[in-house]
Structure 1
Amino acid sequence: MTDNLQGQHIVVTGGGSGFGLAIARELVGNGARVTLLGRRQAALDDAVAALGTDCAAGVVCDVADPDAIRRGFADLSGPIDGLVNNAGMARPGAVDDLDESEVIQQVNTNFLGTVFCCKAAIPLLRGRPNARIVNISSASAWHYDEMSHLSIYASTKAAVERFTRDLRQEVQRDGIGVTCVRPGAAWTNFADGWDAERIHRGFEAWMKTGPDMDSGMLPEHVAQAVAHVFSYPRGVAVDLLEVRPNQPIPKPEL
């Protein structure tokens, strides 16, 4: 990739699994040191062991809780050069059957968590040689061929994109580059914990949107896109980068 990541310290939220762990692995492979923020100590321990304790650390932090974010960033070791706001969650449900607590949890994690992690990171990024913030969105914010019954998740990601536009302008004079990365679907454990009946109803609705789906993308492809964003020199920033699968295949039978 580039030597620009050598010696950089980058914080990755939701870093214990899925896109977050793949992003951390790619950053470490290009010379960076990472701190992973996540809710589960066991997952963080496994991720740090896989990445190597010399280049990775884990901090327990639920980004849905602003107080936990403040504590988590206070526990960071040394200055930071980048932040990847990857932590996110989705819970399927038709609008007339939404669970109020799940709606609030998605808003707090996906949108407010991104906002408050940026707030906590900006003072630590000011003055760094090539500081960057990468906010992870979702293709579901813009495309209708993603999974159905994820209106709240998609809405929170659309909010992240709008927030990122203003953030980019606000921190330009601080020398902080800001990028939105918008990934499409890839094979991860993202659906862990979903209610089976709600998945079934969402799947049935999704099947009616057309016979085919896009396939062929792995978390590693998203990770490569994020690392690419960090490779640019100071003063150059990718504004929006969308990465989606591009192999049409028939949708699987339920």
Structure 2
Amino acid sequence: MTSPLAGQHAFVTGGASGIGRATAQTLTRAGAKVTIAGRNVACLEAAAQELGVHSQQVDVTEETSVQQAFEAARAVNGPISILVNNAGQASSAPALKTDLALWRQMLDVNLTGTWLCTRAALPDLLAGGGRIVNVASTAGLVGYAYVSAYVAAKHGVIGLTRALALELATKNVTVNAVCPGYTETELLADAVQNIMQKTGRSEAEAKAELAKSNPQKRLIQPQEVADTVLWLCRPGAASITGQAIAIAGGEVMTG
């Protein structure tokens, strides 16, 4: 069977763990040459060895770091044809305790990082066509309390996705976002620990609390998100662009 992504170079930020790792593995199995990128060199190298992919250190909030990472990745795997902007952080705080440092951190990592990596990949994508998939969140579609900075950043990612999709519509480049609900990753584990510490609930009770917003009453699995990313990268999704696809078990996005 022909590999649907054979010969394509996929650059996946935040690719050492969670959704990014599942995505890197899924794209590799589909035939892509994959670069995983992130800040933690040890985690990247371990993941790269296990997955059989290239790893590249990057700080997505720093323009020079991003430019250097993309140049190094091109030297190994060639021009970028798929960009998965997955790197992100989530921190919670009431509005009055959301100081400027936290606000900037949420926007820098989640929104500015997405923009810097997109801009770095665009010359290749415009020359040869390709896909951009931004890993946003249901928080990019509705509002949630106590995470105002994160919600603002993810709404920004959705807006950027829609604007770029229109700008690139005739350039053989699609731009989409996937919006998972609470997903069982290392990032979620931190939220679970926070609930346990503040409320005295067990781990199972804390996870159930997070899963309540999902009508299926469960947490999303990273592979479910990765499979959606793969679909958007396949040739048959060439007309799918400017979309924000919720992966949330039927949670109503009415925000």
Q: TM-score, normalised by structure 1?
A: 0.83
Residue 14 of structure 1 and its aligned partner are, at CA, apart by: 0.7
Aligned to 1:171: 168
Are 1:39 and 1:61, in contact at CA under 8 Å, matched by a contact in 2? yes
Separation (CA, whole Å) in 1 of partners of 2:210 and 2:163: 36
Which position in structure 2 is the counterpart of 1:81?
Answer: 81
1:196-247, Cα deviation, whole Å (9 max, x unpaired): 499838x9xx9xx999342142000000000010113484224322211359
Contact 2:61-2:109 at 8 Å conserved across structures: yes
| Structure 2 partner of 1:104 | 104
Deviation of 1:193 (Å): 6.3
Match status 1:70 vs 2:67: yes
* Alignment correspondent of 2:242: 239
The alpha-carbon deviation at position 153 of structure 1 amounts to 0.7
State the shift of 1:124 in Å.
Answer: 1.5
- The answer (yes or no) to whether the contact 2:102–2:149 under 8 Å persists in 1 is no
Match of 1:59 in 2: 56
- Identical positions, percent: 31
CA contact (8 A) 1:92 1:199 kept: no
Per-residue deviation, residues 152-175 of structure 1 (Å, max 9, x unmatched): 111100001011111111122321
Q: What letter corresponds to residue 113 of structure 2 in structure 1? A: G
Residue of 184, 188, 191 corresponding to 1:187 = 184
Structure-2 residue corresponding to 1:8? 8
Pairing of 1:26-175 with structure 2 (within 5 A): 26-52=26-52, 56-76=53-73, 77=76, 78-128=78-128, 130-143=129-142, 148-175=145-172
Determine if the alignment matches structure 1 residue 224 to structure 2 residue 227. yes
Secondary structure class of the residue paired with 1:135: strand
**Match of 1:200?**
198
Which structure 1 segments of 5+ residues have no match? 248-254
| Cα contact 2:10–2:32 (8 A) shared by 1 | yes
What displacement does 1:192 show? 6.2
8 Å contact from structure 1 (residues 26, 224) kept in 2:
yes
Per-residue deviation, 1:33? 1.2
Deviation at 1:102, TM superposition (A): 2.1
Provide structure 2 residue ranges, at least 5 long, that are not aligned to the other structure. none
Amino acid at match of 1:239: G
CA distance in 2, matches of 1:237, 1:210: 30
Q: 1:233 to 1:245 in 2, by over 3 A?
A: closer
- 1:137–1:157 CA contact under 8 A, matched in 2: yes
Q: Is the 8 A contact 1:35 1:57 kept in 2?
A: yes
Deviation at 1:191, TM superposition (A): 4.4
Taking the aligned partners of 1:233 and 1:190, their CA distance within structure 2 comes to 32
Change (3 A) 1:99 1:165: same
| Alpha-carbon distance, 1:75 to partner | 1.1
* Higher mean C-alpha displacement, 184-193 vs 11-20: 184-193
Distance 1:3 1:197 in 2: 43
Seen in structure 2, the aligned counterparts of structure 1 residues 218 and 179 have a Cα distance that, compared at 3 Å, is: same
The CA distance in 2 between the partners of 1:193 and 1:220, in whole Å, is 20
> CA RMSD, aligned part only?
2.9
Matches of 1:114 and 1:211 in 2, distance apart?
27
